């Protein structure tokens, strides 16, 4: 952990109180990205925290997250997704390639102890991004670990159990005795079973039906489910897919939530290069999409001419 000493000093001076686990994780992501693209500086697109709640609104801890863009703009040669995973393995991570729901996109999960990274490459090929998170850092006594926090859930976090998957009234334990005689918690009388969160059935994430209900509450349609990139007007003003992603990651959804896992596609159409972004808001489950017109990228043919 001491190998990234320089980076640690930098981060500590910028953000006093950042835990060592967060500093270490950020260092790992930058190190792996640099190993893949030695001649390119990786970009920390965004760093944020997920609050961890129990019964009270006041968080009992936080998880620290980083979104790093390793490459994808004008890369001289794509290392290929297998090489990306090898770079993680070389640093002691275990990787699991996930089957992609969308053609041309690659995804994997990397784990090391209680740290996790979502590895993603857009189609085109598009951007190569790492989203990493630390174990929960508790402010007081450690209280186990929720199944999900806001950013790590695939879907929308259950707002009854805040991602824990257990009933927070009884802490997931079937009552025995207790103050009121029988003392069985309300959750025990439900088909969800003793201790499980009644709302999400113990999954920690809202069911498809509940998610659809959230969308209705916000007056939103359900997405078409094809996973295609919605057509939206292209914006200008960005010189690379990475800088466009930095802008996108700062934009909140209409509901106010910024957390969104962004898929990406780089495409040449009608003589212009477009960077497309699409994702599902982790607050209201809205389908979100942006398009950016980038300066025409260097074609492979130009690079061939440069060769002796």
49 to each of 17, 91, 167, 215, 263, how far by Cα in Å?
Answer: 13, 24, 24, 25, 21
The secondary element (H helix, E strand) that includes residue 70 is strand 61-71
- The answer to whether the CB of 145 falls within 8 A of the CB of 135 is yes
Q: Quickly count helices (H) and strands (E) in the chain.
A: 6, 11
* Contact flag: residue 30 with Zn ion (CB under 5 A): no
State the number of CA atoms in the 13 A half-sphere of 210 facing the CB. 16
Distance CA 156, CA 210 (A): 9
Nearer to Zn ion, 241 or 283 (CB): 283
Contact 283, 156 (CB under 8 A): yes
Residues numbered 279-308 forming contacts with Zn ion, rule: CB under 5 A: 281, 283-284, 286
Nearer to Zn ion, 124 or 283 (CB): 283
Closest CA to 67 of 164, 157, 152: 152
- Minimum distance between the CB of residue 199 and Zn ion, rounded to whole angstroms? 4
Per-position x/- string for 222-261, each x denoting binding to Zn ion as judged by CB under 5 A, each - no binding: -------------------------------x-x-x----
The nearest distance, CB 156 to Zn ion, in angstroms, is: 9
Contact window for Zn ion (CB under 5 A) among 63-71, 77-85, 198-206, 234-242:
198-206
Q: Choose, by CB under 5 A, the member of 156, 170, 266, 280 that binds Zn ion.
A: 170
State the nearest-atom distance from the C-beta of 289 to Zn ion, in Å.
13
198 makes contact with Zn ion (CB under 5 A): no
CA dihedral (177, 179, 183, 187) positive or negative: negative
Closest CB 11 distance from Zn ion, rounded Å: 30
Per CB under 5 A, the segment of 19-27, 118-126, 176-184, 192-200 that binds Zn ion is 192-200
Q: Which of 81, 75, 3 is nearest to 40 (CA)?
A: 75
Shortest distance (Å) from residue 235 CB to Zn ion: 20
Among 110, 161, 274, 276, binds Zn ion (CB under 5 A): 161
Q: Cβ closer to Zn ion: 29 or 185?
A: 185
Choosing from 150, 156, 187, 245, the residue that interacts with Zn ion (CB under 5 A) is: 187
In which residue are the tokens 């450690």 written?
A: 142
Least distance to Zn ion, CB of residue 205, Å: 8
d(C-alpha 144, C-alpha 150), whole Å? 17
Helix (H, G, I), strand (E, B) or coil at 251: coil
Which residues make beta-bridge pairs with 115?
112
What is the DSSP code string of 117-156? Answer: EEEEE-BTT--EEEEEEPPPEESSS-----S--TTTSSS-
Minimum gap (Å) between residue 194 Cβ and Zn ion: 7
The least CB distance from residue 222 to Zn ion, in Å, is 14
Binding interface with Zn ion (CB under 5 A) = 158, 160-161, 167, 169-170, 185, 187, 197, 199-200, 253, 255, 257, 281, 283-284, 286
């Amino acid at each position: 952990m001491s190998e990234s000493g320089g980076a640690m000093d930098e981060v500590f001076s910028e953000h006093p109180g950042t835990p060592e686990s967060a500093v270490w994780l950020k260092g790992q992501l930058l190190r792996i990205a640099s190993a893949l693209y030695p001649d390119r500086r990786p970009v920390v697109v965004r760093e944020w925290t997920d609050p961890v709640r129990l019964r009270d609104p006041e968080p009992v801890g936080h998880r620290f997250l980083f979104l790093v863009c390793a490459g994808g703009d004008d890369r001289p040669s794509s290392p290929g997704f297998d090489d990306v995973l090898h770079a993680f393995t070389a640093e002691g991570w275990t990787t699991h390639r996930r089957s992609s729901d969308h053609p041309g996109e690659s995804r994997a999960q990397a784990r090391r102890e209680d740290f996790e990274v979502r590895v993603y490459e857009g189609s085109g090929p598009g951007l190569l991004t790492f989203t990493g998170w630390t174990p929960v850092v508790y402010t007081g006594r450690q209280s186990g670990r929720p199944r999900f926090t806001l950013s790590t859930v695939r879907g929308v976090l259950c707002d009854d159990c805040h991602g824990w998957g257990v009933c927070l009234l009884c802490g997931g334990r079937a009552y025995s005795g207790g103050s009121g005689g029988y003392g069985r918690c309300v959750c025990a009388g439900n088909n969800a079973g003793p201790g499980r969160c009644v709302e999400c059935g113990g999954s920690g994430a809202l069911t498809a039906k509940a998610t659809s209900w959230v969308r209705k509450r916000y007056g939103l349609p359900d997405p078409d489910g094809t996973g295609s990139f919605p057509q939206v007007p292209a914006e200008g003003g960005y010189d690379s897919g990475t800088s466009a992603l930095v802008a996108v990651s700062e934009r909140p959804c209409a509901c106010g939530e910024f957390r969104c896992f962004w898929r990406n596609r780089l495409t040449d159409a009608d003589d212009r290069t477009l960077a497309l972004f699409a994702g599902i808001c982790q607050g209201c489950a809205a389908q979100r999409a942006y398009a950016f017109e980038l300066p025409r990228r260097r074609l492979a043919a130009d690079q061939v001419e440069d060769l002796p």
